A and B are shown apart, each in its own frame.
Chain A
Amino acid sequence: MTPRDYWKANLKLLTILLIIWFVISFGFGIILSDFLDQFSLGGFKLGFWFAQQGSIYGFVLLIFAYVIGMSRIEKKVQENNKDT
């Protein structure tokens, strides 16, 4: 894996995670929030839950997904370097 491939793999992972980031906060928490409010999660309206709870849990998961994803990519880089 060349530095160029490494950077490309990084950008791909970034893009996917940032799309999810946008959807759970700006999407479910704001734009679609009123629509989602017709469903409920226990005593929460769903849109309200995303705005005040769900999006925050999602953010935490996204960062750890990035940490894990990047350490996999970096492992690949190291293995390749050993081969050559």
Chain B
Amino acid sequence: MSSQLLTYLFVGLTFSVYIGIALWSRASSTNEFYVAGKGVNPVANGMATAADWMSASSFISMAGIISFLGKDGSVYLMGWTGGYVLLALLLAPYLRKFGQYTVPDFFGTRYYSKTARLVAVLCLIFISFTYVAGQMRGVGIVFSRFLEVEIHVGVIIGMVVVFFYAVLGGMKGITYTQVAQYCVMIFAYLVPAIFISILITGNPIPQLGFGDTLVNSSTYLLDKLDQISIDLGFSAYTENSKSNIDIFCITAALMFGTGGLPHVIVRFFTVPKVSDARKSAGYALVFIALLYTTAPAVAAFSRVNFIESIQEKSYFDSPDWFKNWESIGLIAWKDKNDDGLINYSVGEAFEGGRPIFSGTNGPQGEREINNSITKDNQNEVYIDRDIIVLANPEIAKLPAWVMALVAAGGLAAALSTAAGLLLVISSSISHDLLKKTFMPKINERQELFYARCSAAFAILIAGLFGIYPPGFVAQVVAFAFGLAASTIFPALLLGIFFKRVTKEGAIAGMLSGLFFTTSYIIYFKFLFKDLNTNANWLFGISPEGIGFIGMLINLIIALLVTYLTPKPPIEVDQMVDKIRLP
């Protein structure tokens, strides 16, 4: 069977499972729509949380990024797992005990004001849309490469599937499809990783193969990788090139940001008991760690494979995957030194970031580009980091069904996260904006109807982002985490652990965190991109890590304002006492 047919088969099969689950788990009340009736088993919730959390960027992009960054890539590994410790210890049990439907619910009650609720809704919608845009782009990439359909057809198919289970099933439908999606995703990630680990090191466990010796040699994989990297002009793979303070702040911003991401927090609202919320966070991290400890191994394996399979080969003799990805514009080669061979080394091969193809072909049949050539380096290869995981099975010459599996896994990762985010958006519109703020008189059936409408509306917007991706998707991811870390996380933390914190304190803290982080990121990422270098940064902290400073500012302002304003009412005091008990 051809690999394309296999891919259609795998993707079709998994999609019908998702739709089947959607039909079986329709939501009939707002309780089921928002929090799956609070009856989800903690292990199932752990799996659903893992699928919710691991997005297209974890599945498709992360190993590729680490592969190019080496040790600097550790910020993503630690940052996107360490946040679960904070969730399990500092937030999840108390928010579950609080027992309402949405994260802004907590803001509205604990900070006794509609303004606090609205500020939370604002931050939450912004964070969620930022994130959703990236997921839909992931769906588009997978469809266009593996199924050779136009990107917009792929996005529309994805939208229809999400529409089924998110609009019909709400949180209930999403939870059980996410469990299925986790299984597809992890299987699709581990199978090629195990194959490649065996091929390169002879060790079937990627986490161990990563630190093992190469087949038929006594050299360790990582030592060899350090050597190759240095030979090509990069810094050693196992050493940092960023400064420690920057690595510290980026890791912290990602961790605290994880703790403040609404689509993850609401997952803990769906379990029956407080103790289940703790357990569930533990299971979630086990399921996440399975992929996150494999990713750096995949990164190292594919780095070696990638370099060895193209370096100093002629384009004519280059492997098929090189030409396939070139044909959709994610790889480009320009023979700068006219030796007819592919030379990969440090630096950008040409000006302007992405390749602009001229439409003509060079002497060996390669696609010619119009970009002007950079003269300060010998690198001739442009490669989009996102393709590493997707191309990995091809690079390692694995059988066709493995590639089909990876395509289905990538789609599962993107769709499960998109659904979780869409639910957060729709519940904040129907529950927080309509029911709790502007239309308090609507009854439950009407609220459920509005919830479905806003889910459908959110899917449409997300689809548009996928078809017409805004050029700033990559930049705004830093935004999502920075904002979650500097607004939502500290306000939740203070709300639970410091009874004295007043609504004025919390709102002032959130707005100053929001203002500081937003202006820093906009300044360096949008207004003055040329200035975005170490020398100009505040204390040497990049825009990716500034959310951590935003969080500290939030905490300081919140506490200062708190002591200048009157104590919160006695009911709030009692409510906090209540959520602190099991």
Binding site for B on A (CB under 8 A): 3, 6-7, 10, 14, 17-18, 21, 25-26, 29-31, 33-34, 37, 41-45, 48-49, 51-53, 55-57, 59-60, 62-64, 66-67, 70-71, 74, 77
Q: Which residue of B lies closest to A10 (CB)?
A: B580
B361 close to chain A: CB less than 8 A: no
8 Å CB contact of B281 from A30, A37, A63:
A63
B435 close to chain A: CB less than 8 A: no
- Extra contacts, 14 of them, besides A30-B244, A77-B582 (Cβ < 8 A), are A6-B582, A25-B78, A31-B244, A33-B240, A43-B211, A44-B222, A48-B71, A53-B210, A59-B81, A60-B282, A60-B289, A66-B88, A67-B88, A67-B282
24 contacts between A and B (CB under 8 A): A6-B581, A14-B89, A14-B90, A17-B89, A26-B251, A31-B248, A37-B238, A42-B220, A43-B213, A44-B210, A45-B222, A49-B211, A52-B66, A53-B293, A55-B77, A57-B293, A59-B81, A59-B82, A62-B85, A63-B89, A63-B282, A67-B282, A70-B93, A74-B275
Which residues in window 266-296 of B have CB below 8 A to A? 275, 278-279, 281-282, 285-286, 289, 292-293, 296
Give Cα distance in the complex from A42 to B286, angstroms: 24
Q: Which residues of A contact B56 (CB under 8 A)?
A: none
B96 to chain A, nearest CB (A): 13
Q: Which residues of B contact A74 (CB under 8 A)?
A: 275, 582
Q: Which residues of B contact A6 (CB under 8 A)?
A: 581-582
Asked, given contacts A30-B251, A43-B212, A74-B275, whether A64 binds B282 with beta carbons under 8 Å apart, the answer is yes
Q: Which residues of B contact A30 (CB under 8 A)?
A: 74, 244, 247-248, 251
Q: Which residue of B lies closest to A51 (CB)?
A: B74
Q: Which residues of B contact A25 (CB under 8 A)?
A: 78, 82, 251, 255
Q: Which residue of A lies closest to B213 (CB)?
A: A43
A32 to chain B, nearest CB (A): 10
8 Å CB contact of A55 from B78, B89, B208:
B78
Residue with the greatest number of chain B CB neighbours at <10 A, chosen from A6, A34, A59: A59
Asked, given contacts A3-B581, A30-B247, whether A59 binds B211 with beta carbons under 8 Å apart, the answer is no
B98 close to chain A: CB less than 8 A: no
Give the A-B contact count at a CB cut-off of 8 A.
Answer: 124
Q: Which residues of B contact A17 (CB under 8 A)?
A: 85, 89
B207 close to chain A: CB less than 8 A: yes
Q: Which residues of A contact B581 (CB under 8 A)?
A: 3, 6
Residue with the greatest number of chain A CB neighbours at <10 A, chosen from B85, B212, B275: B85
A10 to chain B, nearest CB (A): 8
Contact check, B282 vs A52: say whether CB atoms are below 8 A apart.
no
A63 to chain B, nearest CB (A): 4
B265 close to chain A: CB less than 8 A: no
Give Cα distance in the complex from A68 to B255, angstroms: 23
Give Cα distance in the complex from A60 to B251, angstroms: 17
Give Cα distance in the complex from A10 to B255, angstroms: 22
8 Å CB contact of A52 from B74, B213, B239, B251:
B74
Q: Which residues of B contact A44 (CB under 8 A)?
A: 210-211, 222
Contact check, A56 vs B81: say whether CB atoms are below 8 A apart.
yes
Q: Which residue of A lies closest to B279 (CB)?
A: A67
Q: Which residues of B contact A51 (CB under 8 A)?
A: 71, 74, 77-78
Asked, given contacts A25-B78, A31-B248, whether A53 binds B282 with beta carbons under 8 Å apart, the answer is no
Q: Which residue of B lies closest to A55 (CB)?
A: B78
Give Cα distance in the complex from A6 to B281, angstroms: 21
B492 close to chain A: CB less than 8 A: no
Contact check, A53 vs B220: say whether CB atoms are below 8 A apart.
no
Q: Which residues of B contact A57 (CB under 8 A)?
A: 289, 293
B247 to chain A, nearest CB (A): 5
Give Cα distance in the complex from A64 to B77, angstroms: 20
B77 to chain A, nearest CB (A): 6
Give Cα distance in the complex from A21 to B89, angstroms: 11
B72 to chain A, nearest CB (A): 10
Give Cα distance in the complex from A25 to B208, angstroms: 20
Give Cα distance in the complex from A70 to B66, angstroms: 36
